Structures are given as structure tokens and as C-alpha cells.
Structure 1
Amino acid sequence: MNVSGAVGPGGRVVLLTTSHRVAPGLLSWDAWQVLHGADQVLCRDPGHPQLPYLREAGVTVDLVSPSAQDLADIGPRTVVVLAGADGESRLTDGLARLAGSGRVAMPDLELLPASYDLPGARLLDLVQVMDRIRTECPWSSRQTHEGLAKYGIEEAYELVEAIEDGDRDELREELGDVLLQVVFHARIAEEGGPDEGDEPFSIDDVAAGIVAKLIHRHPHVFGDATAETPEDVKEHWLRTKAEEKQRDSVTDGVPLGQPGLALAAKLASRVRTAGLEVPAPAGEGIGYDLLAMAVRAEADGVDPEAALRAAARAYRDAIRAAEIPR
């Protein structure tokens, strides 16, 4: 046994955990106090990323893999165990068994997180996983922006369906699938484009761009502008967006490849927001009838695509009901 000290109760065992998503050496003040005040600091992993920083701070670390019984026998001392990536499950299970037996005088056992994940930290895991998949998976390594485009559309529709169904579990999953598309495309973009001069960009560039855009378009949050109502916010948004885009027409930037009802409603929204008087063109045929209905729906605050989907669901249910044997 490499854990020294007299046998007896009254000791303290601190399991110090760290997050691999936080840079090594960035530990809490409580953690540094415990480390400097401990009688002994143990670590079973000689490659633990925290070791160089602990040694630089003057903390002596013994490379020892203690058993639960070793720690139960530390005597009236404080021993810190620097947890590995697995959280030292074997060791904690052993300590729990000893404590539950009632036959061993146990030291005080304490779990001390030395670093915490910030909100969004798990996104780093996603980036790392995507990088490995892109490198090692025969299918993923061959994908292109063009080849993945259809999946982006499919996942977006599935997300909308989860929202309309009110299924929160499905919503969480579909949000993940949409996020995967973003990370996948950004990972491909790191390799540059097919044409000479196509500069590569990464997920960090994507995130930096949207952060800058959000800050610029919310001067009432990040600047000196004021906004008391949602209408004020929308006015800020449209004004700053127009300044950024320098568009010649209110129709610029409207994707023509979107579903027809959504396209018609979007054009009507642009016309109404701009204060223009542009009546829908009159003509014969169902296309013009649908256009007029979409414009009317947008004016009434109704999403024609969502309304049609709701009606289509009711139609689907009627079909299923008719299929049930009488």
C-alpha cells in the first residue's frame, strides 16, 4: 500500500472532479485551498491533464491507485483523490460498500467539483465527435454540402412537426438533428471549397458570425437603443437588417425554393412591412386562387402553411378512420 498514515477514524477523503471541457488548471478557489491544505494528493493516471498545473502550483501529487480500504485507513488526515475521466466509479463503489457494512470506521467522504461545465459546454463534445466521424466514417467522410442539402430540409420539417404536435421529447431530438446538420456542414467547410480561392471556415466562424449579427440587431439589449414593445424590436431588426444587406428590393433574400404557400405569405409580409400597396395579381387558375388565399391569411396573422398542414392532418385522420373495418 502506497497510502501512508496511521489507522483510525477522523480523516477526510476528498474526491476532486474536473471537467475535460474546461481548460486544465482552471480550478475553483475551494479546490485550490483543499489541494494546498491536504496531507496527501493521489492520482492513479500519470497522464491526467491537471498534473502539470498542480505541480507548477507547488502541489505534490503521488501517482497511486488506492483501494477503498486504503482510504478507509488514512487516519486523522486529509487525502485528496484526483478523479479520472470515469469519476473513479470503482473506488466510490468500494467506499459505498464499506460504509454500508457498518463494520468500518469511515473517514468523512466529500465530492468536490473543481471545475464546472459552462452552458453550452456539451457542444464541444459534438464538435469532437463530428470531427472523428468525418475522419473515420466511410460514409460521412465522402459527404458534400450538396449531398447533405436534402437532409437539412427533411430535418427542418421534422422539427416543425414536433413543434406542432407539442411533443417535447420529439422536439429535443429533432433540435439535435437540426444542430447536427449545422455542425456537419461546418466541418465539411473546414476543408475549403471545390473552387480555388474558396476559404475554409469552421463552426467557430459560424458561431462568431451569428453572435455578431444578434448583437448588432439587438441595440436595445447591447446598445443604447430602447424598445418597449415587440413592435419596437421588429422595427430595430428590420432597420439594421436593411442597413446590413443593402438590398434593392423588399423581395431580395426571399428563397424562391420554399413551399408555395410559405413563399406567397413571405412576399405578402414583405409588402405589408414595407408599407407598399401591391395587390395580388389577378388571374385564372388555382395558383392565383391559392395566392390570394395566402395573402389574405398573412394579413389575418395566419400561417397558411401551418393551416394547410393542420387541415391535412385532419384529412389523414379521416382516411385512417375510413380504413378501419366496419
Structure 2
Amino acid sequence: MGRLSLLVTSPRVAPGLMSRSAWSAVESASVRLSRDLTEPVVDAVVESGLEVEPVDALLGAPELARLLVTRAVDTDVVWLGSSDADPGLTDAIASEVSRLETPPEVEMVVGSWDVPGSRLLDAVVVMDRLRSPGGCPWDAKQTHESLATYLTEEAAEAVDAIGSGDRQHLAEELGDVLLQVLFHARVAEDAATDAERFDIDDVAGGLVAKLVRRHPHVFADGDASTPEEVEEAWARIKAEEKAGLHRS
């Protein structure tokens, strides 16, 4: 009896960084199948020296399920899923398996998981799409100056949401504040001069550096142990930065 392994990976993790169990399943399978040989995960598998067979991209979920289950009746097959997560495929496979007297074993193999904060990458991609050619004409014409009022408005609405006690509303309003950060960073990428130009990585990198500098009791040999001592150290370090040792 064969086995059908359905490989699921996060599009936000480098395809080669799959789990040990995923690589083991891929390497040990007799047959590896995919709709699209240009998928990043397929590229990683092929680059490792393994062969991947293409499957007709026009096959619907029922037809694809029948093909996969049939191939897996007497051999081990790995399905390298598509980026759209193959909607309807698992239900179709369940239906196919239930028709067989001796069906193949079916397993879901998780190749990678989203790491905390990974959806921020999606937000960056969406913002870039909106500002790029073919995107949104309103977004494309905005400047730091034209967006300034939205930044203050969204921050004020987030404060109001805190006061309301509605945490779901707060999450939404914080998303609007985040949008303004992403928007300004993306606008800055299109600046005319190097002095004006920065991107979201510069913003995030500067924030990380600042947090590390101002928390020496966490990241270095600082000895602040109470909230009051932390505030005092923060104010002192900030003053030193403003005096020219670091940018604040």
C-alpha cells in the first residue's frame, strides 16, 4: 500500500528551509508532483537534485484528487501544493479515498510555519503594490505632507479605541496606524535624493537599534530593575543621543 503526502508550506518562509520531516518525505517518495514547476518550493526541491513531475494545471480538485490517489495506491507520492493552497483538494481526496476498499495512507506534511510577525511582510507587499505602476492612482500621488493629517487622525482614533475598552476595535485602529508607517516608508523609497530616501527596513532597523540602546538592563550590563529606574535610564540615554552620540 502506498502513501500520499500533501506538503504544506508557508509562502513567507524561504522554501529551502523546510522541516526535517518534510524533506524526509520529499526525498523518500518515489513520485513528486506539482501543478507549477516554477513554484519556489518546487524550485528548492529540484535544486536539491530531485525530480518533480508536472500535472495539468487545468485539472479541477476532483480530477486532481483522483489522479493523486490513483498514483499513490501502490507507491509513495508527495504533492507539492500550489501557492493558492489548492482549494477543495483535501475534501476531494477524502471523497476519493472513501470509495476505495484499500486506499493509500494520506498524511499532511507541514514544511514550514509562519513565524511571529510574518504577516507584516504581507502588509509591506500590499503597500508596495498600491504605490507601484498599475496600482492605486490615489496612493501613488501621496506625499509625506499630504499624509501628515492622516497620521495624527489615526493615532487619535487608536487612543479613543483604548478608552472604549473594545480590543477588537483597538486592533483595527492600530492597523490603520501601521498603514501610515508603511505608507510613509514606501513614499520615501521614491524620494529624489539619497538624503531623503529610506525604506521600511531602515525604519525597522532604526527602531531595533534604539530599543536595544535604551534597554541596557536587557541587552547589555545595565542594572535598572524597577520601572522608575528604567524610565530614568531611558531619559538619560535619550539625552545622550540628542547630544550627538546617537540619532534619537
Give TM-score, length-normalised by structure 2: 0.89
Q: Match for residue 285 of structure 1?
A: none
Runs of 4+ deviating beyond 6 Å: none
Q: What is the root-mean-square deviation in Å for CA atoms of aligned residues?
A: 1.9
Please give the alpha-carbon distance, in whole angstroms, between the structure 1 residues aligned to 2:109 and 2:126: 28
Residue 143 of structure 2 aligns to which amino acid in structure 1? T
| 1:20 to partner: Cα distance | 1.7
CA distance in 2 between counterparts of 1:88 and 1:129 reads 22
Aligned amino acid, residue 233 of structure 1: V
Note the residue ranges of structure 1 that are not aligned, 5 or more in a row: 1-9, 248-252, 254-326
**In 2, are the aligned partners of 1:16 and 1:31 still within 8 Å (CA)?**
yes
CA 1:203–1:243: 2 relative to 1, 3 Å: same
* Contact 2:37 2:43 (C-alpha < 8 Å) held by counterparts: no
What does residue 15 of structure 2 align with?
24
Where does 1:241-252 land on structure 2 (aligned, <5 Å)? 241-246=238-243
In 2: Cα distance, 1:226 partner to 1:104 partner:
69
Q: d(CA) in 2 for partners of 1:20 and 1:179?
A: 22
1:140 aligns with 2:139: yes
> For residues 211-290 of structure 1, what are the structure 2 equivalents within 5 Å?
211-246=208-243
Match of 2:123 in 1: 126
CA deviation map 1:192-243 (0-9, x unaligned): 15xx563310000000000000000000110011222111111211111111
- Three-state SS of the structure 2 residue aligned to 1:109 is strand
Matched, 1:43 2:34: yes
Change (3 A) 1:151 1:199: closer
Does 2:59 align with 1:57? no
3-state SS, counterpart of residue 149 of structure 1:
helix
Flag structure 2 segments of 5+ consecutive residues without an equivalent: 57-62
Q: Relative contact order (C-alpha < 8 Å, sep 6+): which is higher?
A: 2
Q: Secondary structure at the match of 1:15?
A: strand
Which of the two has higher C-alpha Rg? 1
- CA–CA distance in 1 between the matches of 2:69 and 2:33? 14
- Can you list the C-alpha shifts for 1:119-171, whole angstroms capped at 9, x where unaligned? 11111111111111112211111011111111111101110011011001101
Find 1:96's aligned residue among 88, 94, 115. Answer: 94
Aligned length: 236
Once residues 69 and 104 of structure 1 are traced to their aligned partners in structure 2, the CA distance between those partners, rounded to angstroms, is 15
Q: Are 2:71 and 1:80 aligned?
A: no
Deviation (angstroms), 1:103? 5.3
Contact 1:98 1:104 in 2 (8 A): no
SS in 1 for 2:108: strand
